[in-house]
Structure 1
Amino acid sequence: MKPRLESTELKVYRSVNARMELEGKEKLHYSFLEKWLEGELKFDSLLERLEGEYLILKDILLDYQGNLFQIDTLIISKNTIHMFEVKNYEGDYYVDADNWFSTSGTEIKNPLSQLKRTESLFRRYLQFFRSPLKLECYLVFVNPEFTLLQAPLNELIILPTQLNRFLRNLEFPRAPLTNTPINLAKKILADPIVDSPYKRLPTYEYKQLEKGIWCCRCRSLRTHVEGRKLLICESCGVQEELESAILRSVEEFQVLFLNRKITTNAVQDWCLVVESRKGIRRVLDKHYTKIGSKKHTYFIAK
């Protein structure tokens, strides 16, 4: 009922990384965001094998009495809610008491503590709606290159070697869902916060960013326009319709520069490789609403 979408934070990092060199903590944070999404998408693909009747909600950010909490994946069936915290850790880790470490000795945030906090808040959230459904919560590790040494015997933790077996054992009724799970899902979807207030954006200015249209496959800026309808990547050879590439670049411009107006000149400067002002104007006229006239014309989303 709710698909997984790329966060604004990730979109900004992807764009900035394609157009300038990220360094230090910003580079590490960008790598973390990509890894996080990669793990969630991998888990999504595994869930496609499930049979029966159920609802899936992804990337839910909720507020319970001023406490924000995020749920990676919810599966709501006739009698049960399955809540999953998905991790894409890679490498060897171990647990010492309540502390988690990489084998290099670096301590990481205890993911079980994170799961239990989310579970506690979500239980209270469900009580507010008087939901009769049983709640089951799991910490899922999806990367086959992850190992948890001295792993505690904890039914909440699903390791990569256990994941396929765990999903095979999940059983959902084949009969149509009743109103109880459907109405609960609708209430949750009516309530979530659209964008996290805790996002950490990189530092950048317009003049710092290399201009052009990056490739939709490899994100290289080594692209050129061929004829009037094609954008071609010189790095991987992929071809894209120019109209689609311009629209993608306009959306990117909007995400990076919320306070800048979309004008023909601004888009042409941003795209760089598109020489035809008329071509850009034609795309904007087709997909956006024109405001003003002559020198003061700009465009907004329809």
Structure 2
Amino acid sequence: MILKERTESAELRTYKSLNARMDLARADQKQCDYLESGYEGEKIFDGWVEHAGEGLILNDLLFVTGGSHYQMDSLYIAPQKIYLFEVKNMYGDHYIEKEEWISCGAKTEVKNPILQLKRCESLLRRQLQILRCPLPVEAYVVFVNPHFHLYHAPLHSPMIFPSQWDRFSQRLKSIRMPQGLHSELAEKLLSLHVEKSPYERRPDFRYEELRKGIVCGGCGRLGMDALSRDQLVCVNCGQKERFKNSVLRSVEEFRLLFPEKKITSEQIHEWCGNIKNSRSIQKILKENFVRVGRSRGTNYEEKK
């Protein structure tokens, strides 16, 4: 049972938005690709684990224990133990030399996911002790990409490769979870989750430099154009969407990038590339947000 769904991080949503609206610097484009690849891998893992037993699944947890922040891709709470999964969507041939992980193609060192896993496992154990939870933790790095290969992998290492998942999942599928068991623990863990990570990066950008228009919810590119009175179509991929939904998505995107700016009909009309007319935008804002002020000073805030 999934108690916490996985969603795109604010950092990933920021990079995707900026990638559509400006030419990212090389380092920023690399970070954007890295975040997208990681999220795609995590969604693959979610598909694997969704039907694996009756355990309680918590995704995308960010904890602070002893002043240290740590992010966990997935926790699977079973009757007798807690499984911690670190998901990796790595590609290509790699090998291990001592404790260093090296890419065969580029001959460059990459982050050792085992060290990352051990750190998270240690901090999670400490947090469980604080909660007086006696359940042991069993931690694994799960590689989801079939085009990844690791030479010199230690025989008894906490790693699960794509070809091994089916066998491992049989262990989870045999789990029968009595109703209500560990639900209090799961709620406590959920309450410890913090939203904002101190490690999130954000490219430098200015409003004036960004391309205006509506980003397609399908292909992620600018190019939504009017198809009819209340419908838009993407000129790139052909996806259709109601005008209202496109505007509301654009407002959320604007708030993500510019949390300090006020939401006005004129501002959102410009942000959406002056598509249709400002009165249509104003009507949508009135229906979905709280109006503040009057006349030229009117702006809109989120309903509480």
| TM-score grouping bracket, smaller chain normalisation | over 0.9
Structure 1 position 164, deviation (Å): 2.0
Aligned residue number for residue 12 of structure 1: 14
CA contact (8 A) 2:142 2:161 kept: yes
> Could you report, residue by residue, the CA deviation over 1:172-198 in whole angstroms, capped at 9, with x for unpaired residues?
54352444x211111111111112111
> Could you report, residue by residue, the CA deviation over 1:219-247 in whole angstroms, capped at 9, with x for unpaired residues?
22222113320111111111100000000
Aligned residue number for residue 35 of structure 1: 37
Q: Distance in 1 between matches of 2:146 and 2:47?
A: 15
CA contact (8 A) 1:39 1:87 kept: yes
How many residues align? The count is: 300
Query: 5+ residue gaps in structure 2?
Result: none
SS in 2 for 1:185: helix
- CA-based RMSD: 1.2
Aligned residue number for residue 127 of structure 2: 125
TM-score by length of 1: 0.96
Larger deviation: 269-278 or 121-130?
A: 269-278
> Could you report, residue by residue, the CA deviation over 1:91-150 in whole angstroms, capped at 9, with x for unpaired residues?
000001111100031101111011111111111110111112121110110101000011
Matches within 5 A, 1:225-244: 225-244=226-245
User: How much identity, in percent, do the aligned residues show?
Assistant: 41
Structure 2 counterpart of 1:289, one-letter code: V
CA contact (8 A) 2:11 2:201 kept: yes
Q: Distance in 1 between matches of 2:125 and 2:174?
A: 21
Q: Which stretches of structure 1, 4 residues or more, deviate above 3 A after TM superposition?
A: none
Structure 1 counterpart of 2:134, one-letter code: P
Q: Distance in 1 between matches of 2:57 and 2:259?
A: 32
Aligned residue number for residue 176 of structure 1: 178
Matches within 5 A, 1:173-212: 173-179=175-181, 181-212=182-213
Q: Distance in 2 between matches of 1:173 and 1:95?
A: 34
TM-score by length of 2: 0.96
CA contact (8 A) 2:74 2:85 kept: yes
Aligned residue number for residue 214 of structure 1: 215
CA contact (8 A) 2:78 2:177 kept: no
CA contact (8 A) 2:223 2:234 kept: yes
Q: Distance in 1 between matches of 2:15 and 2:293?
A: 33
Aligned residue number for residue 287 of structure 2: 286
CA contact (8 A) 2:263 2:299 kept: yes
Matches within 5 A, 1:1-302: 1-51=3-53, 53-104=54-105, 105-179=107-181, 181-302=182-303
CA contact (8 A) 1:78 1:177 kept: no
CA contact (8 A) 1:217 1:238 kept: yes
